[in-house]
A and B are shown apart, each in its own frame.
Chain A
Amino acid sequence: MSDVLAVVEHRRGSLRDVSFELVTAGADLVGDTGGDLHLAVIGGDVDAFAEELSLAGVDAIHTVAEGDEFNHDVYVQAVAALSEELDPTYVLMGNTVNGLDYAPAVAERLDRPLVTDAIGLQNDGGLVVTREMYASKVESTVEVDADRAAVTVRPGEWDAAEEPGEPAVEAFSFDLDESRVRSRVTGFEEVGSGDVDITDADVLVSVGRGIEEEENIELVQELADALGATLSSSRPIVDNGWLPKDRQVGQSGKVVTPKFYIAIGISGAVQHVAGMKGAENIVAINTDPDAPIFDIADYGIVGDLFEVVPELIEQFE
């Protein structure tokens, strides 16, 4: 028997997709050995969230009415208090930006080993977690040699739970130690809405670090022009200041769903793929035949962009 406590996420009034994926991951885990799946919903309109989360496989939902939005100091205290009460074998959290901001502190406070960014979970006698290393070039399995653990799961790896169920909903209260709330969220801002909206484009020509120099962006722009496409990019291009932030595709950039996404010199890091995997057709041009981008591509060219792109421009001139 092993109980699981999964901590859901919401932002600005809506549950985030990862919350429903956590339900599936948690239900799988308790399914392996028996045990209960508990959810924690902290902050915001907890009752409405609990209703939405009343899904098959969930045994109990614990609502913690504390604040409107995520505050890591509150989350850490709430999850620690709830864990102390329920003593779950596994605490599951999302490997999201907010997950990065509180999960390690939860694990540290509870003195549990932490495994982050899980893409697979197995529980037969002990917990075995599948994760990636070396920018997705290598996969590994990690066995947790402890009775209890904290795990964060990668968004998008588990199906979202949908089937309704009838879990018990209980309000959970604890003594919030205000002296340990030492950060204050003061607002949110949307970044960069310039003159180009890459989410609107039918065809995106997207450039990554393989382009090497700022001057070379011109070459990819020429291709975009020849195709009547819009230019977008992976993150390093924006970090270098070579293109504005509103051209960035990915987890922290824009989510795009064009008919064609042509990835040029982009490796296909998870955070990039999160923004473009919904494209109808994905073309990858990359010198490295093992680049993860080819795993999701429909069409692949293993080759040097500095040779392929000029030829491609010629085809359309």
Chain B
Amino acid sequence: MKVLVTVKEVAEVEEDFELDGLRVADQYLDYDLNEWDEYAVEEAVQIAEESDDDVEVVAVTIGPERSEETIRMALAKGVDRAVRVWDDALDGVDLLDVGAKTRLLSAVVEEEDPDLVLTGVQANDDSFGATGVSLASAIDFEWAAVVNALDLDADGGVANVRRELEGGVEELTEVDLPAVLTIQTGINEPRYASLRGIRQAQSKEIKPLALSDLGLDAAAVESDLVLTDVYEPETESDATYFEGDAGEQAADLATVLREKGVGAQ
């Protein structure tokens, strides 16, 4: 069996930052593996560990060369090998929309022919939250979104999942395989990469693929969405701020709390 996990290096914006045109200026960005993808990677590795059969776990990312550093973290946690899609045509793209990601990942699925695809529920930078389900539709796999528990019955050809709905309600669903599941945080406890894992990851393959390697051309990354403006939201805060050192701030807050009857007993 083969499990494909989509992973993404996401940028996090520092507390203070400046914009540079339609982007956050580079020096204010920190890069990390997307939180939801960490759980997807862990789930895939656990499936491989718990199966009696040989299970290969392959990570796929769309990202520039820099992102290999982040992808190595997934390899260090037990992913067998990785595929990285990038192309000059992607260099100047401000916003890669869901359709474009779907076209690229569909081509990778065609190459890799996985039995199961795991993705994170959303990526914390552009927050589309749509790639997994869009991909499933494009490659004609079944799917389930926002999965917080998975019981895979590969022989029976189904995945029993829990989907976490709003308000503390969970839905129990049977999904026919092959499938794409979008993974919610909390499904497992992502492991830390061991030193041994980190060392081994150095020799694992991250295969770069250009559009032409996937039988695609620049049209595949043309997006129907155009980013037209990026700005810091106007602060709507009308909060009363307590100033001074921690002691003064705490004393002022305590006064307000007491006035309103908190902690009065």
Is A304 at the interface (CB under 8 A from chain B)? yes
**Are B260 and A259 closer than 8 Å at their CB atoms?**
yes
A136 to B249 CA separation, bound complex (whole angstroms):
26
B188: nearest residue on chain A (CB-CB)?
A239
Instruction: Please give, as numbers and ranges, the residues of chain B lying within 8 Å of A133 by CB-CB distance.
Output: 125-127, 230
B134: shortest Cβ distance to chain A, in Å? 4
A261: shortest Cβ distance to chain B, in Å? 11
Query: In B112-153, which residues have CB < 8 Å from any A CB?
Result: 121, 124-134, 136-138, 142-146
Instruction: Please give, as numbers and ranges, the residues of chain A lying within 8 Å of B137 by CB-CB distance.
Output: 76, 104-105, 108-109
By a beta-carbon cutoff of 8 Å, the part of chain B in contact with chain A is: 11-13, 15-17, 19, 22, 24, 95, 97-99, 102, 121, 124-134, 136-138, 142-146, 162-176, 182, 185-186, 189, 223-233, 235-237, 239-242, 246-247, 249-251, 253-254, 256-257, 260, 262-263, 265
In the complex, identify which listed stretch (A54-62, A211-219, A226-234) lies at the interface while the others stay far away.
A226-234
With contacts A76-B137, A100-B130 taken as known, whether A252 is within 8 angstroms of B168 at the C-beta atoms is yes
In the complex, identify which listed stretch (A27-35, A44-52, A187-195) lies at the interface while the others stay far away.
A187-195
If over half of A's interface residues share one DSSP class (helix, strand or loop), that class is named, otherwise mixed; here it is mixed
**Are A289 and B15 closer than 8 Å at their CB atoms?**
yes
Is A255 at the interface (CB under 8 A from chain B)? yes
| Chain A CB within 10 Å, residue with most, of B173, B176, B260 | B173
A298: shortest Cβ distance to chain B, in Å? 6
With contacts A104-B98, A108-B102, A299-B256 taken as known, whether A144 is within 8 angstroms of B224 at the C-beta atoms is yes
Instruction: Please give, as numbers and ranges, the residues of chain B lying within 8 Å of A289 by CB-CB distance.
Output: 15
A-B pairs, 4 with minimum CB distance: A311-B250, A113-B224, A307-B246, A315-B254
B102: nearest residue on chain A (CB-CB)?
A108
A304 to B245 CA separation, bound complex (whole angstroms):
10
- Choose among A116, A140, A190 the residue that contacts B227 (Cβ–Cβ < 8 A): A140
**Are A260 and B257 closer than 8 Å at their CB atoms?**
yes
10 chain-A/chain-B pairs, Cβ below 8 angstroms: A104-B134, A109-B137, A132-B233, A143-B228, A183-B173, A228-B262, A248-B168, A259-B262, A299-B240, A301-B242
Instruction: Please give, as numbers and ranges, the residues of chain A lying within 8 Å of B249 by CB-CB distance.
Output: 301, 303, 308, 311
**Are A96 and B168 closer than 8 Å at their CB atoms?**
no
A36: shortest Cβ distance to chain B, in Å? 24
Instruction: Please give, as numbers and ranges, the residues of chain B lying within 8 Å of A297 by CB-CB distance.
Output: 237, 239
B251: nearest residue on chain A (CB-CB)?
A315
B96: shortest Cβ distance to chain A, in Å? 12
Q: Map CB proximity to B onto A71-96 as digits: 1 under 8 Å, 0 otherwise.
A: 01100100000000000000000011
Instruction: Please give, as numbers and ranges, the residues of chain B lying within 8 Å of A290 by CB-CB distance.
Output: 15-16, 232, 235
A95 to B146 CA separation, bound complex (whole angstroms):
12
A97 to B231 CA separation, bound complex (whole angstroms):
28
A290: nearest residue on chain B (CB-CB)?
B15
**Are B263 and A100 closer than 8 Å at their CB atoms?**
no
**Are B237 and A100 closer than 8 Å at their CB atoms?**
no
B111: shortest Cβ distance to chain A, in Å? 20
A23 to B21 CA separation, bound complex (whole angstroms):
35
**Are B263 and A303 closer than 8 Å at their CB atoms?**
no
A131: nearest residue on chain B (CB-CB)?
B127
Instruction: Please give, as numbers and ranges, the residues of chain A lying within 8 Å of B186 by CB-CB distance.
Output: 235, 238-239
In the complex, identify which listed stretch (A157-165, A169-177, A280-288) lies at the interface while the others stay far away.
A280-288
Instruction: Please give, as numbers and ranges, the residues of chain A lying within 8 Å of B237 by CB-CB distance.
Output: 294-295, 297, 300
By a beta-carbon cutoff of 8 Å, the part of chain A in contact with chain B is: 11, 72-73, 76, 95-98, 100-105, 107-109, 113-117, 128, 131-146, 149, 182-192, 203, 226-229, 235-236, 238-241, 245-246, 248, 251-255, 259-260, 281, 283-284, 287-290, 294-304, 307-308, 311-312, 314-316
- Choose among A235, A251, A299 the residue that contacts B166 (Cβ–Cβ < 8 A): A251
A165 to B54 CA separation, bound complex (whole angstroms):
61
Instruction: Please give, as numbers and ranges, the residues of chain B lying within 8 Å of A284 by CB-CB distance.
Output: 239
- Choose among B102, B145, B185, B223 the residue that contacts A101 (Cβ–Cβ < 8 A): B145
**Are A134 and B129 closer than 8 Å at their CB atoms?**
no
B254: nearest residue on chain A (CB-CB)?
A315
A235 to B186 CA separation, bound complex (whole angstroms):
9
**Are A144 and B130 closer than 8 Å at their CB atoms?**
no
A311 to B143 CA separation, bound complex (whole angstroms):
50
A140 to B127 CA separation, bound complex (whole angstroms):
12
A117: nearest residue on chain B (CB-CB)?
B127
A282: shortest Cβ distance to chain B, in Å? 8
A224: shortest Cβ distance to chain B, in Å? 10
**Are A299 and B130 closer than 8 Å at their CB atoms?**
no
With contacts A100-B182, A315-B250 taken as known, whether A114 is within 8 angstroms of B146 at the C-beta atoms is no
